[in-house]
Chains A and B, each alone.
Chain A
């Protein structure tokens, strides 16, 4: 009997303990419910980067700091550029405050590793969307379509695309190290000698110092440089290739991907296009096509 009584007492104690835990859980649930009424953070599904970012109160963006007009430091040492503008557009969508972004500076080669190891929430760093990369990361919708162009020097012998092609093997072209960089040059200059270099600045430095006749760089860079130094640089007049630039995120987080897409759509085609349009003008001297109501041509 004594044993049974002891067991009963133990069972009672366990029951009391359990109900205590239950009360605590209930209180916790109640607190969460109250919180969710106060802040949208709790609405985002648990485990999503969207929830993490909202709770943290700032967006952590992986980007570079050495490539104008995409991401570079202005005269005051502040990061600026088209990629930076897109990051601020997302911060406005998340917090109604474009300044709530922390930028993690990274090399282009670190773009995918920094996503897969969770160092950043999103990478916005002139990243070309490709099926191969899409096997490793989720891309947002494209926020720009980049082209390729040949930058030539006003002091050089070969200035136009025709002169470069006619020079054949003796034409030399510099290009940023990348997958298929040789093929990229060959599409414009089939027999040119290719010099692959590690940074965009060195690709252009090779042109400045006469080591190459043309720098094969992004159309946006050619536009930016020719606009700033019209007596130093020329646009050879040949533009080709289209490349979609998108932001990249970790896979398996559809809520986060959908949020970024929606935010970009609204900022490129919806009712909040001011920041996007300003950036497009400031960094590329371009204007978006007129947006018309009716059929959603996006």
Chain B
């Protein structure tokens, strides 16, 4: 059993790296897009909010798998034939960005308007009010749900195997296809996913403790 696991590890390791790669790219892209959209939700005029609302609802209301297949199989009909990796990353990022936007919107609008008004009263510009007054307070409300969505991203990245990217999931399937021994391989893969996500939640607890200094 241990021997089998040792022989399997190199194959799963390559898949693990791909899973981490996909997750990291999606994380960064969705964070940037999501926070920008969240600010748009909280402060934008109607012509900004309405399309954002439409995009966010459509993206969040579509199963991730359907979204991946849409980008991979429907865009070619519009003349955009993407390779599996960019197609999967675009679909995952769009899906995740919609979630991050809602988390950001909630965090920002939970800060009492008086805070912003006070900033205005001492002559801070909009950007300064965001940077020095609203964001620091919103951050600690943003972090816990965002870390949840990060672990979801890592787990959701296993769907990229369906367009032929050899991530941890497909690497496991390939070893099973050769050896016909699914159980130890699935256990090994589950342990790897758990290791990533446990590390993430430990890091997030540290992060939350670090930003818990603000008292209300």
- List chain A positions with a Cβ less than 8 A from chain B: 64-68, 72-75, 77, 104-107, 110, 113, 117-119, 199-202, 204-205, 209, 225
Q: How far is the CA of A106 from the CA of B170 in the complex (A)?
A: 10
Stretch at the interface among B48-56, B100-108, B132-140, B174-182: B174-182
Residues 152-172 of B, flagged 1 when their CB comes within 8 A of A and 0 if not, give 000000000011101000100
Cα of A199 to Cα of B162 in the assembled complex, Å: 12
Q: How distant is the Cα of A73 from the Cα of B11 in the complex, in angstroms?
A: 10
One of A66, A110, A113 near B177 (C-beta < 8 A): A66
Q: Is B76 close to A, CB under 8 A?
A: yes
Q: Chain B residues in contact with chain A, CB under 8 A?
A: 10-11, 14, 73, 76-77, 81, 84, 162-164, 166, 170, 173-178, 180, 182-183
Which of B164, B174, B183 sits near A72, CB closer than 8 Å? B174
Q: What chain A residues lie within 8 Å of B176 (beta carbons)?
A: 66, 199, 201
B166 touches A65 (CB 8 A): yes
B180 touches A68 (CB 8 A): yes
On chain B, the residues within 8 Å of A68 by CB distance are 177-178, 180
B-chain residues with CB within 8 Å of residue A64 when the two chains form the complex: 177
Which 10 residue pairs are nearest across A and B when measured between Cβ atoms?
Answer: A66-B177, A105-B164, A117-B76, A201-B176, A205-B182, A66-B173, A72-B177, A106-B164, A72-B178, A65-B174
Chain B interface helix/strand/loop/mixed: helix
Interface centre among A67, A105, A118 (most CB of B within 10 A): A105
Write the nearest CB–CB distance from B87 to chain A, whole angstroms: 10
Check if B73 sits within 8 Å of A65, measured CB to CB: no
- How many Å lie between the Cα of A75 and that of B179 in the bound state? 10
A contact residues around B183 at 8 Å (CB): 205, 209
Contact, CB under 8 Å: A200 / B177:
yes
Q: A72-B174, A73-B11, A77-B11 are in contact. Are A104 and B164 (CB under 8 A)?
A: yes
Q: Are A66 and B174 in contact (CB under 8 A)?
A: yes
Closest to A113 in B: B73
Measured CB to CB, the nearest residue on chain A to B162 is A107
| Contact yes or no, B180 A73, CB < 8 A | no
Shortest A222–chain B CB gap in Å is: 12
What's the Cα separation between A225 and B175 when bound, in Å?
15
Residue of B73, B81, B164 with highest tally of chain A CB at under 10 A: B164
Cα distance, A67 to B178, chains bound together (Å): 7
- Given A73-B11, A117-B81, A118-B81, A201 and B177 contact (CB-CB distance below 8 Å): yes
| Chain A residue contacts of B77, Cβ below 8 A | 117
Residues of A within 8 A of B14 (CB): 77
* Contact indicator A201/B182 (Cβ below 8 Å): yes
Q: Min CB distance, B167 to chain A, in Å?
A: 11
